[in-house]
Amino acid sequence: MRRLEKPKSHREPTIALINIVFLMLVFFMVAGTLAAPLDTSMALVETRDLEGRAPPDTLLIHPDGRLSFRGEYLENIAAYMETLSEDERKTIRLVPDRALDAAALVALTRELRGLGAERVMIVTQRGLE
């Protein structure tokens, strides 16, 4: 009587797959922590269906009208504008808190334009449905 041989099982390269998934996990963890987070007390304004890009250097406007840039509070907008080069003054990016009064935002925008800003961009949170 002959013994039946077991068919050889083909091994799948699961170790390679696990390594790839692990490397992707590490990549996304590192990529997600590269940008410095905004002030945690900020609640961004929402807009829908707008094309946007990440804010590189933005001026934060808190609900009470205080201004901050790169984690430091500013005394006034004129001192901020004096620290900028001519190229940086062309486009100013503002991140207003959702609770900020619209009249205060408009007044600050006018003041920036009066101090030499050619373009003032307001950065908002993209609304998801």
pLDDT digit string, tens, across residues 21-78 = 999 999 888 877 666 667 777 777 776 665 555 455 788 888 888 888 887 888 888 8
Alpha carbons 119 and 77: distance in angstroms, whole number: 15
> Tell me: the pLDDT tens digits for 79-116?
888 888 888 888 888 888 888 888 888 999 999 999 88
Write down the pLDDT at residue 23.
Answer: 93
Higher pLDDT, 1 or 114: 114
| Beta bridge partner(s), residue 46 | 125
| Beta bridge partner(s), residue 68 | 60, 73
Collapsing DSSP to helix, strand or coil, 101 comes out as coil
Alpha carbons 73 and 59: distance in angstroms, whole number: 10
> Tell me: the pLDDT tens digits for 111-125?
999 988 888 888 877
Alpha carbons 107 and 115: distance in angstroms, whole number: 12
Write down the pLDDT at residue 126.
Answer: 63
CA dihedral sign, ordered 91, 86, 69, 111: negative
**Among 124, 70, 127, CA closest to 102:** 124
